[in-house]
A and B are shown apart, each in its own frame.
Chain A
């Protein structure tokens, strides 16, 4: 009986460990938009948080290194598997987020802006 519990807990432990590089600990509020679609699986996630700091897969990075770092992460992935999730705090300014968009474009990433559905927020 206890063996099953131990195995289950180990499984959960490794699942969480595998997700340790995610960006769920970062603070940002999504902007609102219409006609959204599922972002799907992505190798790369870029966040501009509430303090205007830039993160690549949860690790802080400078905008100057962003394009090459994204290229390294995407490698030789074919088109359609080069999705880059962009999570920008709604109050971040163009001076900060436009160079990020340019870097994603330069690295050949398929840009997906992670935003909140207007319909969902109006229901709340």
Chain B
């Protein structure tokens, strides 16, 4: 006796479930969108220590940043020339301790300018060190 097998392939899901399915799909894609990994640049900044200005070595490379300009050891440099010039200076130094670059920024230096310059220093093999001016309260008698 031949047994007829029922085909289950063409059974449609109940129409009442479409709302649930849509809701679950929305939640699924929202969660997927919110867990995208971040990408960035690692930066190793030496631990803060208080140093008086007179103690600084004279042969240290210093970079000064203003709102738009860059100064390398006091000389103004265009953003295009900065990368090759800092690389040339760092390549001439073999000792890792000499590859420290002191970065001093004016208070109004924007972050996008700062990160562009410090990235170039690190890509050239330099070690970025920040020079911050300490706030001092002076009491006038």
User: A residues bordering B, Cβ < 8 Å?
Assistant: 1, 5, 8-9, 12, 15-16, 19, 22, 24, 31-40, 48, 85-86, 88-95, 97-99, 101-102, 104-106, 108, 110-115, 117
Contact = CB atoms under 8 A, between A and B. Distances in A.
Contact of A38 (B28, B31, B39, B109): B39
A35 B115 CA distance: 12
B76 interface: no
B8 interface: no
Contact of B39 (A12, A37, A48, A101): A37
A112 B111 contact: no
Contact of B110 (A90, A98, A102): A90
Contact of B130 (A36, A101, A110): A101
B45 A9 contact: no
Contact of A92 (B41, B111, B116): B111
A34 B65 CA distance: 19
B42 A91 contact: no
Nearest to B20: A5
A94 B109 contact: yes
B40 A35 contact: no
A39 B130 contact: no
**Chain B binding surface SS class:** mixed
B116 A31 contact: yes
Given A92-B110, A101-B45, 8 more contacts: A31-B111, A33-B115, A34-B119, A34-B123, A48-B111, A89-B111, A94-B105, A115-B40
A114 to B, nearest CB: 4
Interface residues of B, number: 35
Interface in B1-59: 17, 20, 24, 27-28, 31, 34, 37-48
A94 B39 contact: no
B115 A113 contact: yes
Nearest to A107: B47
Contacts of A112: 38, 40-43
Interface in B99-129: 105-112, 114-116, 119, 123
B123 to A, nearest CB: 6
A37 B109 contact: no
A93 B110 contact: yes
Contacts of A48: 111
Nearest to A19: B34
